[in-house]
């Protein structure tokens, strides 16, 4: 017999990665919990897929038990800035027996500003198309940039032809560079407004790859 409240599974990210995937079956009335540690100010992006969106989740802090996303919201997708450093729990539930696929993403915060000089960041994309065909094949970073500053990014990899950059406003959702363009650089981008920006590295070849980013803000 399947227990209604199973022990939580710990979410771990592969070295150089920012996203984790989980799939299985949640029984009617069952709760399946996942825990992860994250820092204050980081962004948690969670999405659960199931037939007719039957599976949904709650997100809460484990230290004080404060609920960030309640079960009553029947949330299947959320993007939330975390209020403190500590452990968080994502708990899935469903009214019927259902297959689910859960993706949990915590973009890596990068601190860059004019006068700091170029920052170099190493990463690794682990493509899991065999695990789930619709899984994201990206590594995501978050940069807070000031209006009128100038951003330059260069992507390097032995598999450079299979990688591409994307740049998206985290607050306004505006895509300033789409990964479909398959560009390996951002040159002289004048930041239009002060906000957080997502800098994404995608695998457009469907192959896993190590990479390096050089980021400079003037």
DSSP, residue by residue, 43-68: EEEEEEE-GGG--EEEEEETTT--EE
Q: Which residues contact 122 (CB under 8 A, 6 or more apart)?
A: 16, 210, 211, 212, 213
pLDDT digits 0-9 by tens, 173-183? 999 999 999 99
Q: Are 68 and 61 in contact (CB under 8 A)?
A: yes
pLDDT grade for 1, boundaries at 50, 70 and 90: very low
What whole-number distance in Å separates Cα of residue 55 and Cα of residue 95? Answer: 8
pLDDT digits 0-9 by tens, 132-176? 555 557 899 999 999 999 999 999 999 999 999 999 999 899 999
pLDDT grade for 113, boundaries at 50, 70 and 90: confident
Q: Are 106 and 35 in contact (CB under 8 A)?
A: no
Q: Up-side HSE of residue 54: CA atoms within 13 Å toward CB?
A: 16
Number of other residues whose CB lies within 10 A of the CB of residue 203: 23
Question: What DSSP designation does 206 have?
Answer: S
Of 40, 211, 42, the C-alpha closest to 139 is 211
29: pLDDT strictly greater than 70: yes
In the chain the domains, ranked by start, together with CATH numbers, are 9-105 (2.60.120.380), 108-217 (2.60.120.380)
Q: Could you tell me what percent of the chain has a pLDDT over 90?
A: 76
Query: Rounded to 5 degrees, what angle do the CA atoms 110, 195, 66 make?
Result: 75
Q: Are 123 and 163 in contact (CB under 8 A)?
A: no
């Amino acid at each position: 017999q399947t227990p209604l409240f199973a022990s939580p599974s710990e979410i771990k990210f592969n070295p150089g990665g920012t996203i984790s995937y989980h799939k299985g079956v949640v029984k009617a009335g069952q709760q399946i919990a996942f825990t992860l540690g994250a820092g204050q100010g980081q962004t948690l992006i969670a999405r659960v897929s199931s037939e007719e969106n039957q599976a949904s989740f709650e997100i809460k802090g484990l230290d004080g038990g404060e609920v960030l996303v309640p079960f009553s919201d029947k949330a299947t997708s959320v993007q939330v800035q975390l209020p403190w450093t500590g452990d968080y729990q994502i708990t899935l539930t469903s009214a019927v027996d259902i297959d689910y696929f859960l993706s949990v993403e915590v973009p890596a915060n990068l601190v860059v500003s004019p006068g700091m000089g170029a920052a170099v960041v190493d990463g690794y994309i682990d493509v899991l198309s065999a695990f789930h065909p619709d899984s994201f094949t990206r590594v995501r970073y978050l940069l807070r940039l000031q209006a009128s500053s100038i951003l330059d990014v260069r992507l390097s990899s032995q598999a450079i032809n299979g990688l591409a950059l994307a740049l998206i406003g985290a607050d306004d959702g505006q895509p300033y560079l789409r990964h479909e363009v398959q560009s390996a650089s951002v040159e002289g981008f004048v930041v239009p407004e002060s906000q957080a920006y997502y800098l994404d590295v995608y695998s457009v070849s469907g192959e896993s790859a190590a990479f390096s980013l050089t980021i400079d803000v003037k």
